[in-house]
Amino acid sequence: MTLVLAAGAAGAMSSDLGDDAASPRDQALAVAPPDRQLRPQRIKQKPPPAMPNVSAMRRAWRFARRRGGQVSIAVVDTKGQMRTRQGGRLYFSASIVKAMLLVAELRRLRQQGLPLDPLTEDLLEAMITYSDNDAADAIYQRVGDPALIAVAQSARMRRFTVAGYWGNAQVTAADMAHFFSRVRRLLPRPHRRTGLRLLASVIPAQSWGVPRAARGSWKVHFKGGWRTTGSGELVHQAAWLRKGKRDLAIAVLTDAQPSQLHAIHTVRGIADRLLAQSRR
């Protein structure tokens, strides 16, 4: 049986199956650059919102007011903006000023071209990780008020005062948030790693408040302080927190608290509310 194809059909089959040269139009399409609209476009990602946000600050302050006594909060958020509640109120510093003594002593060593010898490192470790007062006395004898004032000026602290003894220093929450937000830059480069290690190695018994609230989410460098005053119990804590490329600073200062435990729970409750955003 003979299969007969019409001329038009035969031509169509030859075009589909054969190796005939492409038409000029097809050649032009083959070498033409792809349509620019089809190229992948870079999508600009919005920067993450500041943390803690305004709502977190409000919740923290409402909680603080319910706790009673004197409470001040200051935060340098992840965008570098300062926000405070009663941030300019002056308090006795208690041991929170030992973080400034740490910076002052390490800067003194750098300025005088001295090494960080084992005795000095032991004193700094006792002063920061155990909050040892004798160690702080020894460091203060070396640096004195002028070095502490110089640190405060470098940290842009506005209301810091000290006269004759580190325990007489007075601070504000805003000033301590300023200090901790800059603590990495304030530490001299040769001793920066040591300073940050000590501020991240406070013993568990003193690691309440901010480090408890931040556990598992942020790396925390901090110092606390506590003492009895004529108004009641005073408890402070200030910290620099970092996670990846983001960082923030928190300072919570209290006085006229009915007990040290009550004040510790006040600091922890405030920190929980400020950092709640990061745990969602």
Core vs surface per residue 240-252: b (16+ CB within 10 A) or e: bbbeeeebbbbbb
Quick one: how far is CA 274 from the chain centroid?
A: 12
Instruction: Examine the pLDDT at 12 and tell me if it is beyond 60.
Output: no
pLDDT tens for each residue of 228-255: 999 999 999 999 999 998 999 999 999 9
Instruction: Examine the pLDDT at 9 and tell me if it is beyond 50.
Output: no
8 Å CB contact between 238 and 249: yes
Sorted by where each begins, the domain ranges of the chain are 54-279
The DSSP bridge partners found for residue 240 are 221, 249
As a whole number of angstroms, the distance between CA 63 and CA 217 comes to: 22
Per-residue pLDDT band at 49 (split at 50, 70, 90): confident
Span 63-87, average pLDDT: 97
pLDDT tens for each residue of 253-277: 999 999 999 999 999 999 999 999 7
Phi-psi region of 209 (alpha: psi -120 to 50; beta: other; left: phi over 0): left
- Which stretches does DSSP call E strand in 99-218? 170-171
Is 3.40.710.10 the CATH classification of the domain at 54-279? yes
* Class of residue 73 by CB neighbours under 10 A (exposed 0-12, middle 13-18, buried 19+): buried
Span 92-116, average pLDDT: 97
The DSSP bridge partners found for residue 92 are 170
pLDDT of residue 169: 97
The token pair that represents 162 in the structure block: 């000290």
pLDDT of residue 26: 53
pLDDT of residue 279: 60
Q: What is the pTM of this model?
A: 0.83
As a whole number of angstroms, the distance between CA 106 and CA 197 comes to: 13
Of residues 98 and 9, more confidence is placed in 98
pLDDT tens for each residue of 164-206: 999 899 999 999 999 999 999 999 999 999 999 999 999 999 9
pLDDT of residue 38: 55
As a whole number of angstroms, the distance between CA 129 and CA 198 comes to: 6
Place of tokens 């004193």: 123
